Protein backbone atom coordinates (compact mmCIF):
# COMPACT_ATOMS: atom_id res chain seq x y z
CA UNK A 1 0.00 0.00 0.00
CA UNK A 2 1.28 3.46 -0.83
CA UNK A 3 0.55 6.60 1.09
CA UNK A 4 -0.20 9.93 -0.50
CA UNK A 5 1.50 13.07 0.73
CA UNK A 6 -1.01 15.62 1.90
CA UNK A 7 1.07 18.76 2.32
CA UNK A 8 1.71 20.93 -0.73
CA UNK A 9 5.35 21.07 -1.74
CA UNK A 10 7.30 24.24 -1.04
CA UNK A 11 4.27 26.14 0.26
CA UNK A 12 6.36 27.98 2.85
CA UNK A 13 9.77 29.61 2.76
CA UNK A 14 10.80 28.76 6.35
CA UNK A 15 10.48 25.40 8.08
CA UNK A 16 11.38 24.21 11.56
CA UNK A 17 12.76 20.67 11.83
CA UNK A 18 13.83 18.38 14.67
CA UNK A 19 16.57 15.75 14.92
CA UNK A 20 13.87 13.10 14.54
CA UNK A 21 13.26 14.52 11.02
CA UNK A 22 16.83 13.77 9.90
CA UNK A 23 18.05 13.03 7.32
CA UNK A 24 16.52 16.22 5.98
CA UNK A 25 15.37 16.43 2.39
CA UNK A 26 13.58 19.08 0.40
CA UNK A 27 10.83 18.45 -0.38
CA UNK A 28 10.20 16.54 2.84
CA UNK A 29 8.49 13.11 2.75
CA UNK A 30 5.22 14.76 3.84
CA UNK A 31 5.16 17.00 0.76
CA UNK A 32 3.74 16.04 -2.61
CA UNK A 33 6.49 15.50 -5.19
CA UNK A 34 4.48 15.75 -8.38
CA UNK A 35 4.56 19.56 -8.38
CA UNK A 36 8.00 20.14 -6.91
CA UNK A 37 11.68 19.96 -7.75
CA UNK A 38 13.86 16.82 -7.45
CA UNK A 39 14.51 15.68 -3.88
CA UNK A 40 17.77 17.02 -2.45
CA UNK A 41 19.25 16.09 0.94
CA UNK A 42 20.49 18.92 3.17
CA UNK A 43 23.28 18.53 5.76
CA UNK A 44 21.66 20.76 8.37
CA UNK A 45 23.29 19.04 11.36
CA UNK A 46 26.75 20.10 10.08
CA UNK A 47 25.84 23.77 9.61
CA UNK A 48 27.26 26.12 12.28
CA UNK A 49 24.00 28.09 12.50
CA UNK A 50 21.85 24.92 12.27
CA UNK A 51 20.19 26.23 9.12
CA UNK A 52 20.13 24.91 5.58
CA UNK A 53 18.76 26.40 2.39
CA UNK A 54 17.40 24.39 -0.50
CA UNK A 55 19.32 25.14 -3.71
CA UNK A 56 16.17 24.64 -5.82
CA UNK A 57 13.37 26.51 -4.07
CA UNK A 58 15.36 28.59 -1.51
CA UNK A 59 13.32 27.28 1.43
CA UNK A 60 15.20 27.71 4.72
CA UNK A 61 15.17 24.92 7.31
CA UNK A 62 16.04 25.57 10.98
CA UNK A 63 17.09 22.71 13.28
CA UNK A 64 15.63 23.39 16.74
CA UNK A 65 16.89 20.49 18.86
pLDDT in tens, 24-51: 999 998 888 777 899 999 999 989 999 9
Cβ distance 26 to 59 under 8 Å? Answer: yes
Cβ distance 20 to 63 under 8 Å? Answer: no
User: Is the full-model pTM beyond 0.85?
Assistant: no
Phi, psi dihedral angles at 61 (to 5 degrees): -110, 135
**Residues above pLDDT 70, as percent of the chain:** 83
**In which region does residue 63 sit, left (phi positive, over 0), alpha (psi from -120 to 50) or beta (all else)?**
beta
Residue with more model confidence, 21 or 1 = 21
Amino acid sequence: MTTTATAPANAQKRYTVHRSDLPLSCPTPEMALWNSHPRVYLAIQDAPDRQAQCPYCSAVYQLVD
